[in-house]
A and B are shown apart, each in its own frame.
Chain A
Amino acid sequence: MNLFDKFKPLLAARAELSDIGVDPFNVKVEKILSPTEAIVNGHRVILAGTNNYLGLTFHPECIAAAENALREQGCGTTGSRMANGNYADHLALEREFAEFYDKPFAMVFSTGYLANLAILSTVPGADDVILIDSDSHASIYDGCRMSSAEVIRFRHNDVDDLAKRLRRLKDRASRTLIVVEGIYSMLGDVAPLKEMAAVKQEFGACLMVDEAHSLGVLGETGRGVAQAENVEDQVDFIVGTFSKSLGSIGGYCVSHHPELEILRYAARPYIFTASSSPSLIASTRVALRLLQEGSGLREKLWNNAHRFYEGLKKLGCQLGPRVSPVIPIMLGESRQESIAIWHDLLQNGAYVNLVMPPASPDTRCMLRCSMSAAHSPEQLDALLEIFARVLSARGMENRVS
């Protein structure tokens, strides 16, 4: 046995992809043309597999703010928030997040991944419990691994199972942090947060909601599922990312607990990494303002989601449980056939994400499509036409349902 033997199964899986001649997990975006178009692996495609929900990546005001910050403040901060990397604009963005959520405390992190690591590795300690939805994102699982708390999973979106597990914890339920997501990134389904918040209250636990895919997408002013379900007062920590609706990179957490502030001295993922570059912070500040002003963008996003979902349904595709900007198309168990479909779509001008087990929810492969407010009706029609052509050529039309 040597250090590298453990990689043999992964190397074999990669070799299988290389035999097929297509690697959906190592595509090259040769040129990004707009929020919805790019040249990928030599093909000009419409992008329907991103997280660019509001389409802000090329917004002229975001770009102008980033350019300005770049010139005035340089390319990077070269330091941690705790040392020399805590610029006035980082603090301004935190204030703006706190105001946006109407919460007294906000922290900004260098990525959304680090925001989850920071909260989960620091807030629940030894003798505490973290109770996570089984479909949680890897950043939640990794945060749990960094924590000394006991980690227990409950069945995805299952309120009864959540309650059952809190009941089993007895006295320890009051030292438990429940962790759920707003919109789940693979199936586009949404946590039943009203019911979950009621269970949390009943057992005296704390609740953290990761709004990564729901910021700018759900809620009257785009704050996410907690706002949509009118339970923001019962959520202890709201975490999110800049890398989806806000079109940049970074993460945040807002809370009514003053203890959030002490994380600046305790959370290793906050302390031991460089702070975000000034240009990222500048474009994010503008994007957050546009998001707040942008009920029109949300409306466009949802119209696009409905139009695309209905179109796929007419083609006979088996879709997720509800209309959402994340639209999964369930395929069969054959990896080879799924890769071929994905590749045909790419060659015909549509980029979507291919998801295979164990990243997919069951033993089947799936295509993850995602909508943007920036998609035009013509682009959606073009995408549907490509799907119709590819699926029927593969004999999949009306068979995938």
Chain B
Amino acid sequence: MKSYEEILAELINLIRPMVPNANELSPDMELVDNLGLDSMKVMNLLQEIEDQFDVSIPLNVLPDVRTVGDLAHKIHQILERE
């Protein structure tokens, strides 16, 4: 079972190519407001995350996800539940 920190590190590696102009990525950065990901990019990112971590992320959790850290927490929770 991966730790939150491991998940966060992998997540940042997945997001980095999508935001070439961003500086160092941190957990408190907002996916939409700080990183400028539009809804399509977020959905594409989710598919990549699902493959990488072998999980399905329910759409219902998305309203609670604003930051990179929120997303890492959700993935951690889902993996824990499984």
Contacts and interface: CB of A to CB of B under 8 A. Distances in A.
Given A168-B82, A358-B38, A144 B43 contact: no
Contact of A151 (B47, B54, B59): B59
The majority secondary structure among interface residues of chain A is mixed
Given A134-B43, A155-B47, A358-B38, A150 B82 contact: no
Interface string A124-153: 000000000010000000001000001111
Interface string A4-48: 000000000000000000000000000000000000000000000
B23 interface: no
Interface in A153-200: 153, 155, 165, 168-169
A377 interface: no
A150 B58 CA distance: 6
B39 A152 contact: no
Nearest to A147: B60
Interface in B31-80: 38-40, 43, 47, 54-60
A168 B59 contact: no
A358 B40 contact: yes
A357 interface: yes
A357 B61 CA distance: 24
Contacts of A168: 54-56, 82
A152 B40 contact: no
A105 B38 CA distance: 42
Nearest to A149: B60
Interface string A104-140: 0000000000000000000000000000001000000
A152 B56 contact: yes
Contact of B59 (A144, A169, A358): A144
A165 B46 CA distance: 14
A358 B56 contact: no
Contact of A358 (B39, B54, B55, B58): B39
Contacts of B54: 168
Nearest to A131: B56
A151 B40 CA distance: 17
A208 B7 CA distance: 35
A134 B44 CA distance: 11
Contact of B60 (A150, A357, A358, A363): A150
A53 to B, nearest CB: 29
Given A134-B43, A168-B82, A151 B38 contact: no
Contacts of B57: 152
B40 A357 contact: yes
B66 to A, nearest CB: 15
A363 B40 CA distance: 9
Contacts of A144: 59
A143 to B, nearest CB: 12
Contacts of B60: 150-151
Contacts of A155: 47
Given A134-B43, A168-B54, A168-B82, A153 B38 contact: no
Interface in A340-365: 357-358, 363
A337 to B, nearest CB: 20
Contacts of B55: 168
A357 B43 CA distance: 13
B59 A153 contact: yes
Given A168-B54, A357-B40, A358-B40, A152 B59 contact: yes
Contacts of A152: 56-59
A180 B21 CA distance: 38
A151 B58 contact: yes
A165 B54 CA distance: 9
Nearest to B50: A165
Contacts of B39: 358
Interface of A: 134, 144, 150-153, 155, 165, 168-169, 357-358, 363
Given A150-B58, A169-B56, A357-B40, 5 more contacts: A134-B43, A152-B58, A165-B56, A168-B55, A358-B39
In the A-B complex, list the 6 residue pairs whose CB atoms are closest, starting with the nearest.
A151-B59, A150-B58, A152-B56, A358-B40, A165-B56, A152-B58
